[in-house]
Chains A and B, each alone.
Chain A
Amino acid sequence: MSTGRLPRSLAITGLGTFVGGRVAERALDAPVPPRVVGLDLEIPRSLEGRLPFHRVDLTAPTADSQIAEVLGKKRCDVVLHAAFLTNPQPDCEYAHELEVIGSLHVMNAAAAAGVRKLVVMSSAEVYGPHPDNPNFLSEEHPLRSHPHAHAVQDRVEMEGLLRVFAQRHPEMVVTVLRPCWVMGPSQFSPVTRHFESKRVTTLMGFDPLMQFLHEEDLLGAIELALTRDAPGPFNLAGAGALPLSTLIRLAGKRTLPIPHPLLFRLGYLESMRRAGDSPEAFYDYLRYLWVLDTARAGSELGFQPEYTTKEAWMSLVVSHRLRRYR
């Protein structure tokens, strides 16, 4: 999908995540592969021996100087920061250390090493599901997060730090990608797990429009962000939006509608037991609209998703069905 050439030298933090690992693989498989440096706690098995790897713990107090040293030594001109948790951690403090302070370390290291471009993976969840959201959220919309979702709040805090950082370093191209929920055969997240069950729990009386992004389109968009210089935030989503009930019906599943006061109260007990987020943190995303306007990604990034929302969703459904026969 990407038309331009990848940067000469690319550093990826969070090599073990889906985004980090797959972007590295695709970059190494390119006709003119760039030099790729991986940073994470451990190297994923599929990439062993294919690229130089440096073990960096982003929660360590001296992580910034470690990263800056690697970036300087390898003369990296572009950094992809993808070291974010896929699953919300029960340990809020660790998550905050990694996502906010860790990102701050990456930013400072990038500035110290004189990196030309920094691409950061955020999420469209930062807009938050709110009853007063407009039908389409543009990048200028305030990031209101969700009052109960600590993972999303960390992401919003990180974006705030990043905005200040970008203002202080006008010479650096700082790109933020905000994909909506990503669907595809290799996605294992709380979201895909929720839709995996035969009866999908929904909130009775609510049927918002949903939007999904296929994982290949996400990787394509990241490659575009790496090749083209487009600073600022970008919403990423597949074309079209469908009501939640229609999607569940397309998957051949049934909904299990539960009145939200009941679900939230029962869920509190459960979340106290697991010490996780309260159920609103997830279910509000199935309650209110948070559909994205992707016009800016189309015009400035050249992002043209190959999969519509329906196709992205069906790819997840098909992979779930196949997994049953494995």
Chain B
Amino acid sequence: MSQSAQSSANEGLKTEQVTELREALAELRGEIEARFGVPGKERADGTLERGRALLEDVGRGVQAQLERFNLKGLYTGLRRAVSTYGMQPRSLDVDPFGLDPASLGRARLLLDFLYDRWWRVQVTGAEKLPAEGRVILVANRSGVLPYDGVMVAHAVEREHPKGLRPRFLMSDWVATSPFSQPLLTRLGGVRACPENAERLLEAGEWIVNFPEGPKGALKPFRERYQLQRFGRGGFVSLALRLNATLIPVAVVGAEEVHPVLFHPNLPRRLLGIPLPVTPTFPLAGPLGLIPLPSQWFIRFGDPIRWDAADRERAEDALFINRTRDEIRNIIQGFLEEEVHRRSSVFRA
């Protein structure tokens, strides 16, 4: 109820009385606000307020720019944005593998959105994650861009009681292509090679490994959820040597984010990087880079631990090969179960 309505309803009153009443009402209102909070103002721990403040900030910035519009200012702003890839602010210290806590903190908003809203990731088997120790998560690689690595890392961070965030390994062409190299490195990605994996494990980091490599990422859509060759078993021998626990992980849904129709050879030879053709890319231009909102399932399997007899066989190529194939079969089984269980690609 507004104050003006109050005062107009009491026209017979004197002006002093009206002001007195107004003051009393304002006092009461202040007290109510102080005690119970302003309705709609602090909902969802201040998100609304922050959003409004942000909008006001942006508006003020635009207004200020319009008031003193100069081409040079625009140019400097654009150049700054380009030279920092729009990822300000960044920390002045990064970890030895290039993870930038400030960048990751900023990216979390987007990652949370992708995880909760866009792909609505459903996790099963998270209770099987060990509390500590060296761990290699072995997952199926799918989708062209390493969304699956980021999301598995995000799932572990969310579900693990200690909230530790594993580092995901990425294949060469993602790790060394322009723009994806700085971006993914800051978010915790590391180029997949035995030296890096060993060093990360020894530093106490968990790693997400995709033994299929680019063969899995760039396979055509008709071969979805069919695992490719699992590398040369490097992850098994590494796990045996460093006594790391292997956890099979199946990611369902990532195959549909960028369905690869075919994979032309010419651009790959011209540009030196793979350029797969999806229904939206490159037809829709940059919009084609937006992943499709499929429904995701991430399933963690039982941890595979080693006893002393196993660990003595770290050099045994046949044993390594057999173990590698067992893990591949576990993940293939998970994939088939999950794919059969889901009713639709896009709906839960």
Q: Contact residues of A with B, CB < 8 Å? A: 131-132, 134-136, 138, 202-209, 240-243, 245-246, 249-250, 254-257, 259-260, 288-289, 310
A256–B93 alpha-carbon span in the complex (Å): 22
Q: Does B299 contact A (CB under 8 A)?
A: no
**Chain B: which residue is nearest A134 at the CB level?**
B195
Residues of A within 8 A of B175 (CB): 131
CA–CA, A2 and B83, complex, Å: 42
> In the bound complex, how far is the Cα of B90 from the Cα of A249, in angstroms?
10
Shortest A124–chain B CB gap in Å is: 16
Q: Which residues of B lie under 8 Å from residue A136 when comparing CB positions?
A: 96, 195-196, 199
User: Interface range on chain B: under 10, 10 to 19, 20 to 34, or 35 or more?
Assistant: 20 to 34
Q: Give the chain B neighbours of A208 by CB distance below 8 A.
A: 181
Contact of A135 among B83, B182, B196 (CB under 8 A): B196
9 pairs from A and B in contact (CB 8 Å cutoff):
A132-B193, A205-B85, A205-B181, A205-B182, A206-B182, A208-B181, A209-B185, A242-B94, A254-B80
Given A135-B96, A250-B92, A254-B83, A207 and B181 contact (CB-CB distance below 8 Å): yes
Q: Is B191 an interface residue (CB 8 A)?
A: yes
When distances are taken between beta carbons in the complex, the residues of chain A under 8 Å from B178 are 203-206, 259-260
Pick from A135, A207, A250: contact of B191, CB below 8 A: A135
Are B196 and A131 in contact (CB-based, < 8 A)? Answer: no
- What CA separation (Å) do A232 and B193 show in the bound complex? 26
Residues on B close to A: CB < 8 A? 79-80, 82-85, 90, 92-94, 96-98, 100, 172, 175-179, 181-182, 185-186, 190-191, 193, 195-196, 199
State whether A240 and B97 are in contact (beta carbons under 8 Å apart), knowing that A203-B178, A206-B181, A245-B83 are contacts in the complex.
Answer: no
The chain A residue sitting closest to B175, CB to CB, is A131
Contact B93 A257 (CB under 8 A): no
Docked complex Cα distance between A289 and B97 (Å)? 11
B residues within 8 A CB of A241? 94, 96, 98
C-alpha spacing A229/B146, complex, angstroms: 48
Knowing A135-B196, A136-B195, A246-B94 touch, does A207 contact B182 (C-beta < 8 A)? Answer: yes
Q: Are A209 and B196 in contact (CB under 8 A)?
A: no
The answer to whether A243 and B182 touch across the interface, beta carbons within 8 angstroms, is yes
| A112 CB to nearest B CB, Å | 40
Q: Which of B90, B172, B182, B199 has the largest count of A CB atoms less than 10 A from its CB?
A: B182
A9 to B2, CA, bound (A): 96
Residues of A within 8 A of B79 (CB): 254
Find chain B residues with CB under 8 A from A249 CB: 84
Nearest-CB distance from B176 to chain A (Å)? Answer: 4
Known: A243-B182, A246-B94, A254-B83. A132 touches B172 (CB 8 A): yes
Give the docked Cα–Cα distance between A104 and B140 (Å): 53
Q: From B93, B176, B191, give the contact of A242 (CB < 8 A).
A: B93
Asked if B181 and A246 sit within 8 Å, CB to CB, the answer is: no
**Contact (Cβ within 8 A) B193 A243:** no
Residues of A within 8 A of B84 (CB): 245, 249
Are B83 and A257 closer than 8 Å at their CB atoms? yes
A140 vs chain B, min Cβ distance (A): 10
Cβ–Cβ < 8 Å partners of B195 in chain A: 134-136, 138
Contacts of A207 in B (CB 8 A): 85, 181-182, 185
Given the complex of chains A and B, what is the CA–CA distance between A202 and B185 in angstroms? 18
CA distance A259 to B177 in the complex (A): 12
Given contacts A204-B82, A207-B85, A250-B92, 14 further A-B contacts (CB under 8 A): A131-B172, A132-B172, A135-B97, A135-B98, A202-B83, A205-B179, A206-B181, A209-B94, A209-B98, A242-B93, A245-B83, A246-B90, A257-B82, A260-B178
